Amino acid sequence: MFSARPRRAARRTAVPRQAPTAGDAGHRLRAPGALHAFNRFELKYLVPRTQLEAIREELTERMDPDPFAGSDGYGVWSVYYDTAQLRFYREKIEGLKFRRKLRIRRYGENTGEIDAGAPVSVEIKQRVNRVTQKRRVMLPYEQALDLCDRREHLELPGGDQAFVDEVLDLVVRLDLRATAMTGYRREPFVGVGADLGLRVTLDHRVLGRDRDFDLRAKAENRFIIRPDLAVLEVKVDERAPYWVTDMAARHGLQIQRISKYCQSVEAHGLAPRSVFHVPDDGHVDLSERLDAPTEHART
């Protein structure tokens, strides 16, 4: 059982800053520095597989593929932390105006293929009214576990210290523990010209699990959103361009209150399914990998 007072560990060093390369899929936001903070508005839609190509064509006409994503996107794996009573889950389901989540996130290919020094982000994502705020710091994976699982005090250079202290306080004060995991294949687009700052993503093969939370574990996952559906996320600094909402309306897409974390919680029976749950479609074996081709690659 963890004590209420975190123990102090030896001084550690954060991941050094480095510019991303073309093969560093999904790590574009790492370039400015270790700690990032930004505010966004988010819109989410569910896109049936039969409509994916038409949606993709419209996005390609007005946006550029993210050059750091590669030809087939990249994998996103997240381990979410919550209380034994699922406080963060319930705050989302109840629609509280202020709510937050803590997670460790890995951008890259399937789990089981990283080492202790692989860079991950420790993130606090919170919602204040309609605005999504995200703060994160890049750390080696083992160091992220020291902070979030083993509750060790980390001493980091620069402006990162206040954030990791906040994470440690949150973990200890609320007795957070790893609760659910999600993984999916992300196909990202970035705005150009007047739409600079716009980011739209299509998330395919949304998987999850409720155990074996180590990112190095080769464990079984299950679909937490039906495999014939992709999640379309629109992220903007202020207001979504008219053509985005017009595109959604023409394709009959409705704004959805989708949380991949909540989907994983409910799909694994950790909480009763809410009215916002998207029916799952059973278990998948280890051959179901995020680096399998998307529908775009098959066509």
pLDDT band at 18 (very low <50, low <70, confident <90, very high): very low
- Show the tokens assigned to 32: 């400015």
Question: Can you give the pLDDT at residue 112?
Answer: 67
The closest alpha carbon to 180, from 80, 90, 259, 281, belongs to: 80
Q: Each residue of 232-266: pLDDT tens digit?
A: 999 998 889 999 999 999 999 999 989 999 999 99
Residue found by looking up tokens 């700052």 in the block:
197
Tell me, which fold does domain 37-298 have in CATH? mRNA Triphosphatase Cet1; Chain A (3.20.100)
Residue found by looking up tokens 């180590």 in the block:
214
Q: What is the DSSP string of the chain?
A: ---SSPEEPPP--PPPP----TTSTT-GGGTT-SEEEEEEEEEEEEEEHHHHHHHHHHHHHHEEE-TTS-TT-EEEEEEEEE-TT-HHHHHHHTT-SEEEEEEEEEESS-TTS--TT-EEEEEEEEEETTEEEEEEEEEEHHHHHHHHTS-EE---SGGGHHHHHHHHHHHHHHT-EEEEEEEEEEEEEEE-GGGTT-EEEEEEEEEEESS---TT-----EESS-TTEEEEEEEESS---HHHHHHHHHTT--B----HHHHHHHHTTSS---TTPPP---B--TT--TTSPPHHHH-
Residue type, 68: F
pLDDT-above-90 percentage for the chain: 63
pTM of the model: 0.83
Contact yes or no for 62/93 (Cβ under 8 A):
no
C-alpha to C-alpha distance for 75 and 93, rounded to whole angstroms: 26
Task: Write down the domain spans for the chain.
Answer: 37-298
Question: Can you give the pLDDT at residue 198?
Answer: 95
C-alpha to C-alpha distance for 108 and 270, rounded to whole angstroms: 27
Q: Each residue of 109-167: pLDDT tens digit?
A: 766 678 889 999 999 999 888 788 889 999 999 999 999 999 999 998 877 899 999 99
Residue type, 171: V
Q: What is the DSSP string of 198-265?
A: -EEEEEEEEEEESS---TT-----EESS-TTEEEEEEEESS---HHHHHHHHHTT--B----HHHHHH
- Show the tokens assigned to 21: 């390369």
Residue type, 216: R
Q: If you average pLDDT over residues 78-104, what whole number do you get?
A: 95
Contacts of 147 (CB under 8 A, 6+ apart): 122, 139, 154, 164, 167, 168, 171
